[in-house]
Amino acid sequence: MSAIKAGWLYSGPFRSEQSQGWYIPVMDKDGTLKLVDTYVIQRRYSEHDKNVSAMTDAILEMGTEPHPYVFSRALSNYYYGSQCIYHVGDELPEDFEEVCYLPDWEYVNDREAEDYEPCDVIWYVQLHFEHGYRWHGYRHGVCLKRKGAMKSFDRQLDAAIADAHRSMTYPSAGYAVSAAIRLHEDGTRKASPSIEAKYLRMLEINDLLKRQQEDMRMLLERQDEEGGDA
């Protein structure tokens, strides 16, 4: 088992209906690090959900200086407050996992996150109370990417093709596929065979839609002519 360290984000058990499943180390008044569910961490450290940098600074400070009010507030303001605080020794419990050292990561929107390799993205984390809460949706939180990570061309192209699929509401497909075309025409980068196959299939679909659009235009013109003759 590894030691609990300040500034790190951990995932752990959902011990109550108020749990978010994300934990950060907070130093008690006696200098002991305890894992605290981010559900009881106040929003005031960050002006908005995207300001992960400010929240990271606050979390790092909570793990290096005593913040006893975090514990007292959790116990007094939350019905399940006692279950939001995990009293542990120096070692990480078996039912917890290290996620990342937060200063090495930064905010990225969930669409752009698709352009990076899986090892460079952490999906839907919550660093404070209802962080990234969505009233209409089942995923809450924000995405993080590793600082300095480079976008993957294969994943960019795959994401562009996925966008095209999502935009298949006629007649916007041609515009959506053009994103994939622009990526493909960049001669400095090459796509993998599997991505290339998907790209070629999207071109076929695009051509088919263009033909259907032309057929529809000609049909409407004939109908107009026939109506005029009548």
The more confidently predicted of residues 106 and 44 is 106
Q: Is the pLDDT of residue 97 over 80?
A: yes
Per-residue pLDDT at 179: 55
User: For a pLDDT cut of 90, what percent of the chain falls above it?
Assistant: 27
- Mean pLDDT for 127-155 is 83
- Mean pLDDT for 212-223 is 78
Least trusted range by pLDDT, from 23-37, 43-57, 109-123, 196-210: 196-210
Q: Mean pLDDT, the chain, as a whole number?
A: 79
Per-residue pLDDT at 44: 65
Q: How confident is the model at residue 156 (pLDDT cuts 50, 70, 90)?
A: confident
pLDDT in tens, 112-139: 998 999 999 999 999 988 887 776 666 6
Q: What is the DSSP string of 136-199?
A: SSS--SEEEEETTPPPPHHHHHHHHHHHHHHT-STTTHHHHHHHHHHHHT-TT----HHHHHHH
The more confidently predicted of residues 157 and 169 is 157
Q: Is the pLDDT of residue 57 over 80?
A: yes
Q: How confident is the model at residue 185 (pLDDT cuts 50, 70, 90)?
A: low
Per-residue pLDDT at 196: 62
Q: How far is CA 80 from the centre of its chain?
A: 27
Least trusted range by pLDDT, from 9-23, 36-50, 95-109, 198-212: 198-212
Q: Is the pLDDT of residue 104 over 90?
A: yes
**CA–CA separation, 191 and 189 (whole Å):** 7
